[in-house]
Structure 1
Amino acid sequence: MADSSTILLTSNQAGDEIKIDLSVLEVILAIAAEKVDGVAAMRGSLKSGLNWVLGRQDRGKGVAVSVNQDHKIVADVYAYFDAGVNVPKVAAKIQEKLAGQLSQMTDLTLTTVNVHVVGLIFPDEKAHVTKVEEDKKELFPESEKDGE
């Protein structure tokens, strides 16, 4: 391990190294977690909320990756689940998917995946979120841009 923010993937006798930043691992794991059936959304931080307002996407939101004292990789996943899903099954699927994805992309072993269910999203709330996103897309329709 290089320092607290990077992980050494490979090195050789010539001094060549390949390091990966923990934030890259967070992005990989966040994308994988969002794709699990039953996950409605990932929890964001104040920074990711501000980025959303400014039109930027913070892909690492909802996942925190750290290296423990034994130099093992630990991920904490903070997710909102769809209401009515079997929480233990969805959480187990997240754990399985994240460990597999990290292994496939980096050859690293994710030893612990802690899933924190932040809340439940009900169908009517999801429809409201979708409507707000659609309204946001139409702030400046094409007809106004052309001067019509």
Structure 2
Amino acid sequence: MAEKEIQSLPQSTPNGKTALGDIEVAPEVIEVIAGIATTEVEGISGTRGTFATGVAEKFGKKVHGKGIKTEWTDEGLIIDVYCTVQYGVAVSHVAREVQRQIRESIENMTELATKEVNVHITGIQFDQATTSKAD
């Protein structure tokens, strides 16, 4: 069986500091940072995951990186976010806020700049309490 290659994103040494070695950030860390930043935006009801993340959540495990895809290209870091919004919010405003929040969080925590943050709205969450029967 072929050995899985470990992927990481190289990080530069901060200005004025002596390099003591290499700093590398795993893509999964970027996904977790982006996932948490996404869920903190008002108007986002959740992110879309896979079948495996759905099963893990049923057993009580919190999956922070679900619905986030990262890709490191020659031009820079590209992040794709798949999320659902709450009914009644301005989708364009929420999507721009997700982009801003992700860029800011990743830059603050890792000093990596993002080339693109693509937001994919996969659904709308309707409030279940608003539907009632009239007698």
Could you say which TM-score interval applies, normalised by the shorter chain? 0.7 to 0.9
Kindly name which structure, 1 or 2, has the bigger radius of gyration based on alpha carbons: 1
Distance in 2 separating the partners of 1:71 and 1:6: 16
Higher relative contact order (CA 8 A, sep 6+): 2
- 75-84 vs 48-57, which deviates more? 48-57
Q: Secondary structure at the match of 2:12?
A: strand
Q: Which residue of structure 1 aligns with residue 72 of structure 2?
A: 67
For the 8 Å contact 2:106–2:113, the answer to whether it is kept is yes
Distance in 2 separating the partners of 1:66 and 1:42: 18
1:44 positional shift: 1.1
Matched, 1:5 2:10: no
Q: Which residue of structure 1 aligns with residue 133 of structure 2?
A: none
For the 8 Å contact 2:44–2:94, the answer to whether it is kept is yes
Distance in 1 separating the partners of 2:32 and 2:94: 20
- TM-score (normalizing by structure 1): 0.76
**1:105/1:14 Cα in 2 relative to 1: closer, same or farther (>3 Å)?**
closer
**1:13/1:42 Cα in 2 relative to 1: closer, same or farther (>3 Å)?**
same
Q: Secondary structure at the match of 1:30?
A: helix
Can you give the 5+ residue segments of structure 1 that lack an aligned partner in the other structure?
126-148
Percent identity, aligned pairs only? 30
- TM-score (normalizing by structure 2): 0.83
Give the ranges of 4+ consecutive aligned residues of structure 1 lying more than 3 Å apart after TM superposition: 10-15
Cα RMSD of the aligned pairs, angstroms, is: 2.3
Q: Over residues 62-109 of structure 1, what are the superposed CA-to-partner deviations in whole Å (9 max), with x where a residue is unaligned? A: 1111112x2400000000000111111110111111101110000000
Q: Which amino acid aligns with 2:76?
A: K
Q: Secondary structure at the match of 1:65?
A: strand
Q: Which amino acid aligns with 1:42?
A: T
Equivalent pairs, count: 123
For the 8 Å contact 1:80–1:119, the answer to whether it is kept is yes
Q: Over residues 18-66 of structure 1, what are the superposed CA-to-partner deviations in whole Å (9 max), with x where a residue is unaligned? A: 1110000000000000000110111111111111122212110011111
Distance in 2 separating the partners of 1:85 and 1:50: 29
Can you give the 5+ residue segments of structure 2 that lack an aligned partner in the other structure?
130-135
- Which structure carries more helix by proportion? 1
Q: Secondary structure at the match of 1:81?
A: strand
Matched, 1:82 2:86: yes
1:10 positional shift: 3.2
